Amino acid sequence: MLSLSAWCLLDEELDAETLVVVGLTDRVHSVSSFPDEVTAAARRLAAGPAVALAHGLSAVNQAALAEMKASFALEVTGQVDLMRRSDFDEGVRAVIEGRTPQWSDEPPQTPIPT
């Protein structure tokens, strides 16, 4: 089974079982049963305690968003670094030319502002 980090680094597909194991989803349904499963979940939510569910969801979202802000900041820093490197140009050229890129891992031409 492929790990989440291997998926991110190796650009490999994740199967349904792995999606559940790594926490990207909590369940997987067949195409044929999906509409019924969604309807059943919506009915369970609609029958639940609306205010308690709203508070719980708000807490979960707040925790997730706090982590997302830090993750996005890290992503921006990394992407800016990568775009300043010759490997970025090489990757774009390779895609346009339909070939495998030849990575050099050279340092950026201009320093990254901090």
Q: Is the residue at 14 inside a domain?
A: yes
Does the pLDDT of residue 44 top 90, yes or no? yes
Does the pLDDT of residue 113 top 70, yes or no? no
Q: Is the residue at 15 inside a domain?
A: yes
Query: Domain span at residue 32?
Result: 1-47
Q: Is the residue at 91 inside a domain?
A: no
Q: Is the residue at 3 inside a domain?
A: yes
| Cα 36 to Cα 40: distance, rounded to the nearest angstrom | 6
Q: Lowest mean pLDDT: which of 21-25, 30-34, 35-39, 107-111? A: 107-111
pTM (predicted TM-score): 0.50
| Cα 17 to Cα 61: distance, rounded to the nearest angstrom | 25
| Cα 23 to Cα 57: distance, rounded to the nearest angstrom | 17
Q: Is the residue at 105 inside a domain?
A: no
pLDDT in tens, 54-105: 999 999 988 888 888 888 899 999 998 888 889 999 999 999 999 999 999 8
As a residue count, the chain comes to 114
- For residue 71, the model assigns a pLDDT of 87
Domain count, the chain: 1
Does the pLDDT of residue 1 top 70, yes or no? no
Q: Is the residue at 43 inside a domain?
A: yes
Catalogue the E-assigned strands of 11-112.
Answer: none
Does the pLDDT of residue 32 top 70, yes or no? yes
| Cα 42 to Cα 74: distance, rounded to the nearest angstrom | 36
